[in-house]
Amino acid sequence: MLKLFIKKWLFLIFITLSNLFLAIRTSIGFFYFLFWVFISSMGMGFVLLLLEYFLIKLKIERSILCKAEEGDTLEIETLIENNSFIPVFNFVLEDNLSCSDYQESKQRFLFEYLGRDLYETAKYRCKCPKRGRYNIGPFVVYFFDPFGLFFLKKTYKIYSEIFVFPKTFPIRGFPPIRKGILPWFGIATTHVSGNDDEFYGVREYREGDPIKRIHWISTARKNRLIVKQFQRQVFFRATILFNLEKEKNFGEGKDSVAEFMIRIAASVSRYLIERDISLDIIAGTESAVHIQSNRGVEHLQDILKFLTIAKIESKVGLGEIFEGFSRNIPDDSTLIVIMLDKDWKYMPIMLPLEKRNISLIPLILISSTFQYVFEKKEVVKDIRIKLSKTFGFNPITFSRGDNLEEVFSQISI
């Protein structure tokens, strides 16, 4: 704002002082009169400005959604009410939208007049190009003099928290997930069981058991309340493992390795949880994080929130993360590793997981495509051949500029 007006101020001050100087040097009344015109106009403006600054009480409220996805346009509505006993003239409301691009980060609205006890609304929108947790605000109100030249600034510390989740894409094809069995899943969790659950037996009713689980025939027969018990027969579990290393974050902005990893992790998580698969997350960010196995929309929200704020500051390698958390990977499950081709060296330490009936799905990002610009088809082909020869499987690879949705849709199920 200062940048917008500083030239005008300097010019005005220069002209005013020039008039004074010329008036003193030449005794010409016109210069002297002009000097006083400038001084009195500025003086009157300042008096009004100070009155407004100290007497005006504004109530400002912002209505905003607390969640959005990368690239989404956020609709915001702000209500401003004049609770003071005098009207306010010529003021500008500024909202600081930290989630937006630099050019759009300040939204300004000019209000010429707001009478006592009256209110106005400002509707605006901003695009959220980058994932993260943002504090929208504060509001800044600039009170202007009647000439629109000088202003005083008042900050209203009103913030709204918003999560910009990483952009997810629909996954149409995914390698098969290994099926697991839970030996005992208890009555308390049966309400989430699906059709695959099998009847396990009956037992006496205990306080807290749901009435719908009462086995009426046995109850009638035994003359006491008997409930049914189920065992989870079919149960899918998966773990996503990735490491956001600062040193290996090649590329820039959205086309960087870490952003690709986060986007893939978010989309795979959504895909798996929507299919009722219990999901663990093991990730290396500024510290190693393990989000324990769970299902449902709330779990997905937790995962997305974590991915939203995940920082690319891991100082350890993928191998160390794996070693530290390998015992947390459940048996009879699937490990999905999102990794760089440069991390092949850790592949041998993951292969023994097969003994625990854990299948491995490596999603490999070709680092050279993020570093250099060249014909990537050949490079990808080479890497695929090498991997299939060394480890005996055909990996899913990603390179810079890939349409991630297309890559997954090409997977044969």
Partner 1 sequence: MRDKFLLAKLVFTFLLLSLVIFSFKPVLDIYTYYSLFGILGGFYFSWFMRERSSHLSRYLVNAGAIVILAWMIHALLNSTLFYSEIILICIKGAVFFEVIMSFNAADRRYLAYSQAISLPLFMYCPLITGGYNESLLISTLGFILCWLAILRLEFYEAFNKPLSEISFEHNNSFSLLIIISLISLVLSGVVFFKFPLKKVVKSSYLESINAQARETQLEKEFDDSQTKIINNINNLISEQDFIDDKYAILGLLDPLIKESSTIMEVEKAELGLKSYLKSPGPGIEKGEGEETTVILKEYVDKKSEINIKAAEDAIMQNLKKDLLNIKDRASIAGLANKIQNSSSNQQVLEYAKKLEEAVEGSSFNNQIKKELTVLLNKLKEWKIFSLNHIGIFFAEEKSQPLKEEEPKPAPAEEKQPKKLKVHPQKAGVSFNIMQSASLFNSIFFTMLPFAGTIILILFFVLYFLTKKEKMKLIALSKDSPRELIINLYDNLKALLVIFDAASEEQLFPLLYAELIEKKYAVTDNSFLKFSVKFEEAKYSRHALQPADAVSVLQDYNHFLKILFQNYNKLSLIFRYFVTLLYRKPIFI
Q: Cα separation of 258 and 318, whole Å?
A: 13
How far is it, in rounded angstroms, from Cα 361 to Cα 42? 72
105 lies in the site for partner 1, by CB under 8 A: no
**In angstroms, rounded to a whole number, what is the distance separating the alpha carbons of residues 31 and 16?**
9
d(CA 389, CA 407): 21
Show the tokens assigned to 364. Answer: 């490999």
**Is 2 a residue that touches partner 1 (CB under 8 A)?**
no
Q: How far is the CB of 63 from partner 1 (least distance, A)?
A: 18
In angstroms, what is the minimal distance from the CB of 91 to partner 1?
Answer: 10
Q: Quick one: which segment of 115-123, 322-330, 374-382, 393-401 binds partner 1 (CB under 8 A)? A: 115-123
Token pair for residue 98? 């930290």
Cβ nearer to partner 1, comparing 28 with 192: 28
Q: Does 146 bind partner 1 (CB under 8 A)?
A: yes
Residue 144: CB minimum distance to partner 1, A: 7
How many residues at the interface with partner 1, by CB under 8 A?
A: 45
- DSSP three-state, residue 159: coil
Q: What distance in Å separates the CA atoms of residue 293 and residue 116, rounded to the nearest whole number?
A: 56
Shortest distance (Å) from residue 136 CB to partner 1? 20
Q: Which residues contact 261 (CB under 8 A, 6 or more apart)?
A: 242, 244, 338, 365
**Residue from 33, 54, 199, 372 binding partner 1 (CB under 8 A):** 33
**Residue closer to partner 1, measured from CB, 46 or 159:** 46
Give the nearer residue to partner 1 in terms of CB position, either 29 or 183: 29
Single out the residue of 134, 139, 144, 236 in contact with partner 1 (rule: CB under 8 A): 144
Per DSSP, the residues of 343-405 read: GGGGHHHHGGGGGGT-EEEEEEE-HHHHHS-S-HHHHHHHHHHHHHHHHSS--EEE-TT--HH
Q: Which is nearer to partner 1, 115 or 401 (CB)?
A: 115
CA atoms within 13 A on the CB side of 111: 24
Question: Residues 350, 351, 357, 360: is their CA dihedral positive or negative?
Answer: positive
**Is there binding between residue 6 and partner 1 (CB under 8 A)?**
no
Classify residue 176 by its DSSP letter. Answer: P
21 near partner 1, judged by CB under 8 A: no
Q: Which stretch binds partner 1 (CB under 8 A): 105-113, 179-187, 222-230, 271-279?
A: 105-113
Residues that bind partner 1 (CB under 8 A): 4, 11, 15, 18-19, 22-34, 36-37, 39-41, 43-45, 48, 87, 89-90, 92, 108-110, 112-113, 115-118, 144, 146-149
